[in-house]
Structure 1
Amino acid sequence: MLDPSQTPGFSPREVRTAAQARKIVEERQLTHVKVGLFDNDGVMRGKYMSRDKFFSALEHGFAFCDVVLGWDVKDQLYDNASYTGWHTGYPDAPVRILPHTCREIPFEDGMLLFLAEFDRQAEAVCPRGILRRVVERCREAGFEPFGALEYEFFLFDETPNSAREKGFRNLKPFTPDWFGYSVIRNSVHSELHRQILELGERMDFPIEGLHTETGPGVLEAAIAVDEVEAAGDKAALFKTFLKVLAQRNSLMATFMARWSGDYPGQSGHIHLSLRERDTGKSAFFDPEKPQGMSIVQRQFLAGQQRLMPELLALMAPTVNSYRRLVPGFWAPTGATWGVENRTAALRVIPGSDKSQRQEYRLGAADANPYLALAAALGSGLYGILQGWEPGDPVAGNAYALEQPDELALPRTLWESAQRLRASAAARELFGNSFVDHFAASREWEEREYRRHVTDWELERYFEII
């Protein structure tokens, strides 16, 4: 393998076509490349592929066992899905390689990574495919969507083995105490912070801001804005390779929505804006309107607000997600909106033609980035197409307000799955196959939880009841 710094020709992020992908692999004299795709839960699944097979796959695609769309995060098989299961025999599904996603993996001696996407029938339930189709509909309506995600995550001075030996209890945080925006912490641990920033640059998910958050060992990273489909790739790769980097430093990172009842939950906030495709101008900014909000932005906001309860399963996809959605922990509890109000679920951020946007603050760190973006963008687009108007903005503490029934959010994953199943808007935006498949996967997740007896139940009932 050649030293990539000494290799002429394309850099990974210049690759756009199959021919260019082939050329960069040849230039680097790679015998294998890494190929990956993302499952229902946003977990990256993949493998090393020989050069010859990769070259063939660039032209003709390749096959990947569709079980990755039929099992949960612990590789347990859904018993309630119709797309795949024992009844289908878990066949191979066609997959296409996406040459423009080429990236170098910094700690693998010039190894290249390519993302892939399910094709043909499997595309109907492929998370990345869902987002791509929402983006295409947005473009057909005359808009180019832009987005960025910011994530909070906790770091622990643990390894996968030590965490399991402790039963995931009494884990040692990377740093102690509550110390948000700490210059002391990021200076003492500057080497790790620098590794995170450099990883983002090398793998093309550049980080605009990185700081400590409130809680022991917690950091927040804001990924730079991009076109929405690319923003999904950046967020999914950030979550995957931040965990890799942590473990290579004998640490562990978690993106659980809330890992402890003693600390706030972990968000995955989404910033979105639209630009007019024919003029390049912001579709959200109108200097003549209050707060600079154009009619399009108001309609987009109305769609997000009205559909939030129906699409919550895509934003809060785990049982643990609902531990975060409680008052007083910086997580919304109703489909509210406000101007520069961080207690609301939707925060309008006034600005200029360049910066006018809104933040979908309901999002949690545990969501699949592709599906979270699809829900946030798709619901906004639906509001535009329907010509909806939002309700009144919240001034002050949104947690203190009594929510109207139509804005109340589901309280459990099971309820969220039922709301998704019944949503006509979700079926129009994402298709019946996806809605049925993803709702079934969330029902499975809830049933798996109910099968287990928790420590809380044992401590509360074992002796006394």
Structure 2
Amino acid sequence: MADPITARQVANRQDLAQLVKERELSHIKVGLFDLDGLMRGKYMSRDKFFKAVDSGFSFCDVILGWDIKDQLYDNVSYTGWHTGYPDAAVELLPNTCRELPLEDNMLLILGQLTGRAEALCPRGLLRRVLQTADDMGYQVKAAFEYEFFLFDETPDSAHEKGFRQLKPATPDYFGYSILRNSVHAQWYHEILNLAESMDFPIEGLHTETGPGVLEAALSVDDALNAADKAALFKTFIKVWAQKNQRMATFMAKWSNEYPGQSGHIHLSLVDKNTGQPVFYAADQKHTMSEVQRYFIGGLQQQLPEFLPLLAPTINSYRRLIPGFWAPTHATWGFENRTTAIRVISGGEQSQRLEMRLGAADANPYLALAATIAGGLLGVRSAAEPSPAIVGNAYDTTIPEEQALPATLWEAAQRFRQSSVARDYFGTAFVEHFAASREWEVREFQKHITDWELERYFEII
């Protein structure tokens, strides 16, 4: 008899079959992540599940043709009423098997779109960018860190209140608070245990600036695994919160009174043949290698064109304002948190960069793909960065070419027109994703805001 196996030891179909048999499961949960980073999935009977593992299965391709409110895009060609909404092929990935501790013995398996749909699959896009890195001789290491707000609300109560006057889980500003994490230690322990059980381990968890806001730094991993872990973290933190009669939000900025919520990415390159870090050079200033310098130069050039992959919603642009811990230009600096790219020194194994542009609302696969692609372009072309910003980037005169689009519409147009994006991400993806962001803007423009009513209703 084979020794018992755990979810994270699963490497293939045989391991998966053993684990499902040991747990006597009648159903298994499967899921994949859509363009907005939302997990779509279902429970699958045991027999159907193993047929899907062997031969694949399908989702209606509407999952690529609707927004986060399940409203159908009217401006895309890949799918729509004109196609009849056929199925899109999905491949299940046994080595992504996870425990679902919030569901007793249940297991979760991730999938990814294949066939024609792979051109629009966020995980597929990241895989293609990583293949480019591999062809250049690099392995990419990455880690995500997220800020998120917790509220003493449920989905029902938040809707009843119209998402106004919501009660944060804790009051007032109190960053890095030992008082908060001691009084509410049970929350922290539950989050940390959930993360360990589901294999998106957290190396740091603390209160941030604002009522009820936490920051979690996930552990470093190979880039594809890191994106899986980030996407799972965002999904299951919300699940955990709602099961405990709370809500978590990863909106970029839910209140004008508080800083926005970031989704920062830490990234480094390793020589795939020697295993040696590529960004580290002991004899250079701040131990920054030539490759890291070119990587930063490429990012500076491409961030204005790749921005919607890092800032994908109307709300994302509420965060990108001076003086609120988010960049407004494609700037960089050594240990400078006012810039878009922060170079972090500190030894051979920790030399890296932090992409500070991304908000918590970004799809981890797309945000990471944009960061890697921009950097690799710089390495290939030996792109020199501008001089490092010293001091406050918000008070520094920045060249116009480093200015970031100020709105989602402008960002979508820059992305659509980018020949570099088409070369790296494929024309099908660029056209479809740009159209999805244009749709988002059009949906926003259909609505009258409270600000307009208060300002104009009586007086004008």
TM-score tier after normalising by the smaller chain length: over 0.9
- Distance in 1 (CA, whole Å) between partners of 2:95 and 2:382 is 35
Alignment of structure 1 residues 61-460 onto 2, 5 Å: 61-460=56-455
Q: CA deviation at 1:288?
A: 1.1
Q: Percent identity?
A: 64
Partner AA of 2:98 in structure 1: R
The whole-number CA distance in structure 2 between the counterparts of 1:64 and 1:305 is 38
- Aligned residue type for 2:347: S
> Counterpart of 1:55 in structure 2: which amino acid?
F
CA distance in 1, matches of 2:348, 2:408: 38
SS at match of 1:204: coil
Offset from partner CA, 1:120-165 (integer Å, 9 cap, x none): 1000000011011111111111000000000000000000000000
**Deviation for aligned residue 1:9:** 2.1
Q: Structure 2: how far apart are the matches of 1:460 and 1:57?
A: 56
* Letter aligned with residue 442 of structure 2: R
Residue 17 (1) aligns with residue 48 (2): no
Does the CA-based 8 Å contact 1:8-1:27 persist in structure 2?
Answer: no
Question: Structure 1: how far apart are the matches of 2:103 and 2:457?
Answer: 51
Shift of 1:8: 4.6
Residues 283-320 of structure 1: per-residue CA shift (max 9 Å, x gap):
10010111111111111111111101000000000000
Give the counterpart letter for 2:16 in structure 1. A
- Structure-2 separation of matches of 1:54 and 1:184: 47
Cα deviation, 1:377-400, whole Å, max 9, x if unaligned, reads 111111111121111100000011
Residues 152 and 245 of structure 2 are in contact (CA less than 8 Å); yes or no, is this contact kept in structure 1?
Answer: yes
Pairwise CA RMSD:
0.8
Query: Which residue pairs with 1:3 in the alignment?
Result: none
Tell me, which stretches of 5 or more residues in structure 2 are unaligned?
Answer: none
TM-score, length of structure 2 as denominator length:
0.99
In 2, the alpha carbon distance for the partners of 1:336 and 1:451 equals: 34
Whether the aligned pair in 1 keeps the contact of 2:102 and 2:240 (CA below 8 Å) is: no
Letter in 1 for 2:156: N
In structure 1, what is the Cα distance between the partners aligned to 2:139 and 2:52? 30
Separation of aligned partners in 2, 1:108 and 1:261: 37
Preserved CA contact (<8 Å) 1:179 1:213:
yes
Normalised by the size of structure 1, how large is the TM-score? 0.98
* Structure 2 equivalent of residue 55 of structure 1: 50
Give the distance between the partners of 1:63 and 1:212, measured in 2 at CA. Answer: 41
Q: Is the 8 A contact 1:9 1:27 kept in 2?
A: yes
Give SS of 1:308's match. Answer: helix
Tell me, in whole angstroms, the C-alpha distance in 2 between the residues paired with 1:310 and 1:196: 36
Letter in 1 for 2:268: S
C-alpha separation between the residues in 1 aligned to 2:189 and 2:419?
A: 46
| C-alpha distance in structure 2 between counterparts of 1:123 and 1:395, whole Å | 43
- State the Cα distance separating 1:247 from its structure 2 match: 0.6
C-alpha distance in 2, partners of 1:369/1:158?
26
